[in-house]
Homo-oligomer: A and B are copies of this chain.
Amino acid sequence: MFTIKFLPHNKEIQAEDGITVIRAAMEAGVHVNASCGGEGVCGKCRVIIEDGAVEDGISSLLDDGDIEKGYRLACQAKVRSNLVVRIPVESVVDAGVLNQQSAPRRKAKIKQMDFNDLKEKGLFLPPVEKRYLELPEPTAQDHLPDVTRLVSFLKLNYGEERLQLTLPVIRKIPDILRKDNFRVTATLERPVREGSKTRIINIQAGDTSSQNYAIAMDIGTTTVYGQILDLVTGEVLSEYGDFNGQISYGEDVISRIMFAEKEGGMEILHDAVVHTINNVIEKIVKIAGIDPDEISTITLAGNTTMTQLMLQVNPRYIRRAPYVPAATIYPPIRAKDIGMNLGDHVVALVYPQISSYVGGDIVAGVMGSGIYRTEELTLYIDIGTNAEIVVGNKDWLACAACSAGPAFEGGGIKMGMRATKGAIEDFSIDPITLEPMNITIGNVRPKGICGSGLIIMVATMFEMGIINNLGKFNRDLKTPRIREIQNVWEYVLAWQHESQIDRDVVLTEIDIENLIRAKGAIFSGCQTLLEEVGLSIYDLDRIILAGGFGSYIDLEKAIVIGLLPEIDTDKVTFVGNGSLMGAKMSSLTNRIRRDVGQVTQMMTNFELSETHSFMDHYIAALFLPHTDMEHFPKLKKRLEARQKR
């Protein structure tokens, strides 16, 4: 780590070796004009390296004199030592203006439970274990039936009792026993419910007890992620994600359900997702370098529609009032019966659903994040097209889904896009010149705006007074970047020649409106849900963000636009793919498999559309950050201070 000092701002941060100077500036909250996203073509991000050495940053856009003076392109120059970097400001600016610059980025800390936590907390009850036996061979005096011999010695050598077998295993036993002189390894599947029977699910010749693996899988509407877990060490051996093959039949769950209602549609969707699952399995098995026959169990989590499609349970009634899912809890299912390329003996556990719009992915997040086991009042939010919200602690849990719309995934945003290469993911604006600082994913010329970038833009512009609390641009600002085109006001993030597309990259007032609706739905969802249980957002001890999107959100900015309540950002953690995490934890320990039934039962689902106050809260939330500034006291103070100047 190196220390980078930015002048004239006089801000210092610690930066990793090799990151670009422009990203270090962004982290420090220092604005540097940059239109081309970091590709090095606009030449605007000129900075002077006053002390220390950088790698690269010399460009034909700089003349020899400049280079001599220490000028470099901040988006190309890489940090290789402690540095003093001066940002050339176009006019003499006072400290006040500099201090209006953004606060440093505050992303949520990643916090996931792991295998050692489980062990330490006594929660490690492996769902599948292997037992190696050296059995005596049958003789005229000892002619126990083969199965009885196996079962007796499992009891004698390991104290195993209440064992149950399946026919496929019985079929294997006679020959497997005799393959390696009655030396065998039995795979034992532990009961989820205490007091139930342990099942012998496999039998192998010789000693294979060190090879015992599980798969955890998240079946998302867009992507399917899988992991191979080592059940002996608890390690994640491999992970791989792939697009859900159902995407070609519809972007979201509603369009999938509509497709499933067509003749043969459900079978097509089922086959598509199973094909994806099998692809992912093949990949993770290959990456981990294990024998696929040694996989003993699989846990899957997905939303209600994904779960029903995967299990070929007609999802038709999910999208029709009164929106009932087929089931909440599904029994253990032979993986092969739903088309998975796994051994005959592998049982699939599928995470239970709460309602049509709070599914197994959310339950998995609740289980994996452990919020059902703490005293702390926690708000768990998984943000995607739908935002699912869970609130509660070890004594009670309540949940709701709210349709946020696809703004965070780029939907309904003129130049919105998913968080892929070319999406503006970070942004700053010069308070005087109103010139932008665009940082794109992949450091290439901008193509569009992704969800996290959108939040940063709107929050930054709002705090600087460039847009007002209704999300409208200040019409008085003198810059060609703010303009009215066909009755819609917009801000030009990148001109056509600086972009990857054949037109200017812009942020419009309609985009801002859509973002406000999306964040308003989530905020009022949280508020309504808390009120329904007699609490308010001030009572929250913790917020957990889940979903791919959550890791990119700048927490301070999310508070500024009123997406998150104003809470100490240290109390916000990020769990990544909560669904995958829950599937993983369930694969590692029966304790969580056991608890999930109770959690499902204790979780109360609220239909926000039936809650009278939801619409009121929603309308009140259609402002930046909110009609009622009392919810955002720190922000209010900052804004007031700014206005006084």
Contacts and interface: CB of A to CB of B under 8 A. Distances in A.
A148 B327 contact: yes
Interface stretch (A312-320, A491-499, A565-573): A312-320
Nearest to A334: B167
Identical copies of this chain, number? 2
Contact of A164 (B146, B175, B331): B331
Given A174-B314, A317-B174, A147 B322 contact: no
Interface in A218-264: none
B138 A328 contact: no
Contact of A324 (B143, B171, B175, B326): B143
A345 to B, nearest CB: 13
Interface string A338-375: 10000000000000010100000000000000000000
A313 B143 contact: no
Nearest to A350: B167
A97 interface: no
Interface of A is mostly: loop
A630 interface: no
B331 A138 contact: no
Contacts of A173: 326-327
Contacts of A327: 145-148, 165, 170, 173
Given A317-B146, A353-B145, A170 B322 contact: no
Interface string A192-209: 000000000000000000
Contacts of A142: 322
A186 to B, nearest CB: 14
A241 to B, nearest CB: 26
Interface residues of A, number: 45
A145 B330 CA distance: 12
A311 B170 contact: yes
A326 B138 contact: no
Contact of A166 (B167, B322, B329, B331): B331
A140 interface: yes
A106 to B, nearest CB: 40
Interface string A160-181: 0000111100110111000000
A165 B331 contact: yes
Contacts of A325: 145-146
A322 B139 contact: yes
B322 A138 contact: yes
Given A145-B327, A314-B175, A327-B148, A337 B167 contact: yes
A22 B139 CA distance: 57
A144 B607 CA distance: 12
A102 B524 CA distance: 101
Contact of A323 (B143, B175, B316, B355): B143
A317 B143 CA distance: 11
A68 interface: no
A401 to B, nearest CB: 13
A539 interface: no
Contact of A314 (B140, B171, B328, B329): B171
Interface in A588-633: 607, 610
A333 interface: yes
A8 to B, nearest CB: 61
B167 A324 contact: no
Contacts of A312: 171
A488 interface: no
A607 B322 contact: no
Contact of A333 (B167, B324, B331): B167
A324 B323 CA distance: 57
Contact of A313 (B149, B170, B314): B170
B145 A313 contact: no
A590 B620 CA distance: 63
A156 interface: no
Contacts of A171: 311-314, 326
A92 interface: no
A93 interface: no
Which residue among A145, A149, A324, A328 has the maximum number of chain B CB atoms within 10 Å of its CB? A145
A328 B174 contact: no
Interface string A119-156: 00000000000000000001111111111110000000
Nearest to A146: B326
B174 A316 contact: yes
A321 interface: yes
A328 B147 contact: yes
A316 B328 CA distance: 46
Nearest to A332: B167
Contacts of A143: 322-324, 355, 607
Contacts of A321: 140
Contact of A146 (B138, B324, B329): B324
A324 B138 contact: yes
Contacts of A610: 140-141
A441 B243 CA distance: 75
Q: Which 5 A-B pairs have CB atoms at the shortest separation, nearest pair first? A: A147-B327, A143-B322, A145-B325, A140-B322, A174-B326
Given A146-B327, A149-B324, 4 more contacts: A145-B328, A165-B327, A170-B331, A174-B313
18 contacts: A139-B322, A140-B321, A144-B324, A145-B326, A145-B328, A145-B353, A146-B324, A146-B325, A147-B327, A164-B331, A165-B331, A167-B330, A170-B313, A170-B331, A174-B313, A174-B317, A174-B326, A175-B314
